[in-house]
Amino acid sequence: MSAVQPVRGTHDLIGEEQRRHAHVVDTARTVTGLYGFEEWSTPIFEETAVFARSLGDTSDVVSKEMYTFPDRGGESLTLRPEGTAAICRALVTNGLTQSLPQKVFYTGPMFRYERPQKGRYRQFHQIGAELIGPAEPVADAEAIAMGRDVLGALGIADDVTLELNTLGDPESRAAWRKALIDYFSNFRDRLSQDSQDRLDRNPLRILDSKAPEDRALLPDAPMLVDYLNDHSKRFWDGLRAALGAFGVPFVENPRIVRGLDYYSHTAFEFVTTRLGAQGTVLAGGRYEGLVAEMGGPQTPAIGWAGGVERLAMLLENAPEKEAPIVVIPVGDAAEAPAIGVLTRLRYAGLRSEMAYRGNLKKRMERANRVGASHVVILGESEVAKGVVQMRDLSSGEQSEISVDRLIETLGEAPLRATVREYLGAILPPGLSAGKGA
RNA sequence: GCGGACGUAGCUCAGUCGGUAGAGCGCCGGUUUGUGGUACCGGUUGUCGCGGGUUCGAUCCCCGUCGUUCGCCCCA
């Protein structure tokens, strides 16, 4: 059609989809709160330098995949492609490097100029967490455990595997990287065309290549484990021990790598097989040097981010729309009293709507269609007697009752999820909300 | 950026070996001027993604384009 369309790779979130997204975000906010994390909101655009610095100038990510534009003053701005760089910038700009650790939860839209695929859009949404300050592996384990609990609270932990790796510290990684280049250079002509390019540009990426000819060379490739120095080994051992203490199962996957130099030690991905090639659902790692890039002191940090679209797709059941109560006046004379009843219901905290149109049958049909739990009917005779007809739409039972009794009765009905019920429902088995904490 | 598949009613899809289209669901109305969710009856819905070409004639064939989707590249 010639009508206007949404921009490629963007989507409207309406109805069930919006409820799924909101549920993912609300759940992550609640669970990270249990770990003492606090939400930050940063602008969705920044000076281009914020992201360009974090990525290095040569990366073609910078040139090809960011939404970058000059503003009217000629300054180069970029729609944020991820959250971590902006959080580090905010840490520095707000002088919070003086009060570490900072435990940050964030959520919101991100923008990448890429070819859309399932669960991968140009405007997409992330939830993320950064634990800034600690240099101990326990912090990494805690951040990972928190990610696991978010997935658990969403009911998808069983569909997801935690894959874990260490990248070592810069010294270890440099030694390993050199060994890798030496090794693959010997077999240059047996590598795929893509990997021959990667050998010059980003040799670690050969390790997660999907091309069979590359995979054939991997078993004999140098392993980072053999190049870890003592510090890196202790960190790696400490991480795995701490994950055990947190009760987080994992599989080691030496093929998980990160392209950028400021990553060190921990790298992890929660992966599902249910989303085709876009199976990583929540991923992160330890980074050192990014805060310094933003002009702050050298500050270690561990963080992760998860794709809301992908998580929303994995939810078994879409959250139900909350059932309203529908008030139906019969006859014009009943309309004003009906508004009075409607208002009292709302002030009592009950989601309520009024059906204005059509004959009683039509209004009942409409009440049914919006998923009402109860209908409140009042016509002339009810108004005269000061009562209403309360009908339970699931049972079909109907009774004549005073407005005071109506509010009492519906107020007791489990129409609203209380905070306690919500917490009880989202926590993984074995943990209980509120008690003994 | 590269390659494959797809684009027909609000939704899911059928169809025409080239003669301007149909089903189910939904929606609206009725059977029931004060009672829904099940039944029955009736009705409504389309520039067949967009632009161009071939043809007497294109939704169908060809080219382009936009969009969707699967994979590659990339994945901060």
Specify the pLDDT at position A211.
87
Specify the pLDDT at position A435.
35
Contact A267, A167 (CB under 8 A): yes
One-letter amino acid at A260 equals L
Tokens found for residue A83: 């959250």
Distance A158 CA to B11 C1' (A): 32
Contact A304, A282 (CB under 8 A): yes
Q: For the residues A107-111, what does the mean pLDDT come to?
A: 95
Contact A157, A151 (CB under 8 A): yes
Kindly report the bases of strand B lying within 7 A of a protein C-beta atom.
1-3, 27-30, 32-37, 47, 49-50, 66-76
Distance A1 CA to B21 C1' (A): 18
pLDDT over 60 (residue A166): yes
Nearest nucleotide, CA A260 to C1': B76
pLDDT over 80 (residue A318): no
Distance A82 CA to B68 C1' (A): 25
Write out pLDDT tens, residues A319-346: 888 889 999 998 888 889 999 999 999 8
Tokens found for residue A254: 């030496």
- Binning pLDDT at 50, 70 and 90, where does residue A209 land? confident
The residue whose two tokens read 């991923």 is A283
What is the rounded average pLDDT for all residues in chain A?
Answer: 87
If one counts every other C-beta atom within 10 angstroms of the C-beta of residue A171, the result is 14
Write out pLDDT tens, residues A371-390: 899 999 999 889 999 999 99
Write out pLDDT tens, residues A394-415: 888 899 999 999 998 888 655 4
- Of the listed ranges A301-305, A388-392, A425-429, the least confidently predicted one is A425-429
One-letter amino acid at A182 equals D
In chain A, % of residues over pLDDT 70: 92
Q: Which residues pair with A267 in a beta bridge?
A: A165, A285
Specify the pLDDT at position A434.
41
Contact A382, A341 (CB under 8 A): no
